[in-house]
Structure 1
């Protein structure tokens, strides 16, 4: 696909999806939403890709919605607005459910819908100069479409504050609340992301995929008999899988597993 708002590169087993509208602070519109959904859908199905990095060109990571797109939406009917919002919701879900691990590389400011993009990723690494803001209420709006992911990432109590105040907060504050996993000086950002990606690619592709699904499906679920049966079934199935057998055998035989050969 010939992308207008993104650049995509694949080096080894790692794909990098880069937001590429730096003159507009990588704000998204209907085109970038469609392209992000397409990119993550295709990369998620690519057996050669073991990890995906979501990055951005320019001084900002993502300023949220494009102003021209927002102006156009102001004239939409209720039904048109709902259809438009569903396209954004579907794109975020595609990233969240992507079977490959997704690492957000946040080099600059991340506002509004941009925070939804980051929250849908699995691992977040940010430059210490990046700032975050859920600015929707300043415009008379609410961060509804991104809320399932942002609340999971920052926690309900932090969301109570920042959804309501639209205050800007730092990368270090994002890390403190759990929204970002790691914060680095700008010149160390590439190395920090590369180290995480290397760790991901060293592991069993099937186990990484199943571990991602495990977190998503177990978090917040009561520990009852159904949960015990579910988790027992998962470990039994993966022990009997080809990569499960290979991983144990390679450990006992003191050799590299086949996915590192």
Structure 2
């Protein structure tokens, strides 16, 4: 069971049939590393059959800041190959199509791969200070694995706009675009209200509906090989890796002088 494991990057709580997963890497702004991906996957697997709702949360100031640049820099120094994007894509696909209602509760900043977690979930709630951004092109890379999920939620044109502009959008704009389904200053209260409603649903009905919904739209499965290929291409480019490693080491963006 999910509750019986010890996690390094998560805080896990099962409340009746609602599984709460809090990403908890405060020292890394909740950046995504291999351990986080593996542990969220294990928690979902461990709660299979017990949870009909999964609530994914971050920290009060940051939901998830995207890829862990320090880990990417360390891999570069070791001469290790690029991180396999497959497990993260498959995790987002599980959140999108699994036999449960997935709820993203966003407070603070959601950036880059953090948008993948947001866009993959069935329901997205946020506080009024939340921001949403795709910063990848600033470093020469792109949100290859995020885009199938984001375009599915807000449409290709707006996903394209977020990718090219790299600029954060606020909670109000995210709500208007459909990236967010509900926003209140006190998002904890908003989450409680929505969970009261979701508790009324039967687990079998939720699972049956999610299977049917996934069968109507197979774009995520078809997009997978293209997304993984594009991800590996940009994260194998030495120039891009040098920019990322420099930022991890100095905090300076590619256009800033040494």
**Do both proteins adopt the same fold according to a TM-score greater than 0.5, normalized to the shorter chain?**
yes
Q: How many residues align?
A: 215
Tell me what 1:180 maps to: 180
Q: TM-score, normalised by structure 2?
A: 0.77
The answer on whether the counterparts of 2:134 and 2:143 sit within 8 Å (CA) in structure 1 is yes
1:101-125 Cα deviation digits (max 9, x unpaired): 1111001110000000111111000
Aligned counterparts of 1:29 and 1:59: Cα–Cα separation in 2: 19
Q: CA deviation at 1:42?
A: 2.1
Tell me what 1:217 maps to: 215
Tell me what 1:237 maps to: none
Q: CA deviation at 1:220?
A: 8.3
Aligned counterparts of 1:22 and 1:211: Cα–Cα separation in 2: 36
Q: CA deviation at 1:216?
A: 2.8
Secondary structure of the 2:55 match is: strand
Tell me what 1:151 maps to: 151
Aligned counterparts of 1:132 and 1:14: Cα–Cα separation in 2: 26
1:17-52 Cα deviation digits (max 9, x unpaired): 000112321111111111111112222x133x2211
CA-based RMSD: 2.0
Q: CA deviation at 1:207?
A: 1.4
Q: Does 1:14 align with 2:18?
A: yes
Tell me what 2:193 maps to: 195
Aligned counterparts of 2:153 and 2:181: Cα–Cα separation in 1: 10
Q: Does 1:128 align with 2:128?
A: yes
Tell me what 2:110 maps to: 110
Tell me what 1:52 maps to: 54
1:130-171 Cα deviation digits (max 9, x unpaired): 111011101110101122111111211101211112111011
Aligned counterparts of 2:182 and 2:90: Cα–Cα separation in 1: 27
Tell me what 2:32 maps to: 28
Aligned counterparts of 1:89 and 1:131: Cα–Cα separation in 2: 22
Q: What are the ranges of 5 or more consecutive residues in structure 1 without an aligned counterpart? A: 222-261
Which segment drifts farther, 87-96 or 121-130?
87-96
Tell me what 2:72 maps to: 70
- Structure label with greater radius of gyration: 1
The answer on whether the counterparts of 1:41 and 1:98 sit within 8 Å (CA) in structure 2 is no
Q: CA deviation at 1:77?
A: 7.5
Aligned counterparts of 1:211 and 1:58: Cα–Cα separation in 2: 32
Q: What are the ranges of 5 or more consecutive residues in structure 2 without an aligned counterpart? A: 220-258
Tell me what 1:4 maps to: 8
Q: CA deviation at 1:76?
A: 8.0
Q: TM-score, normalised by structure 1?
A: 0.77
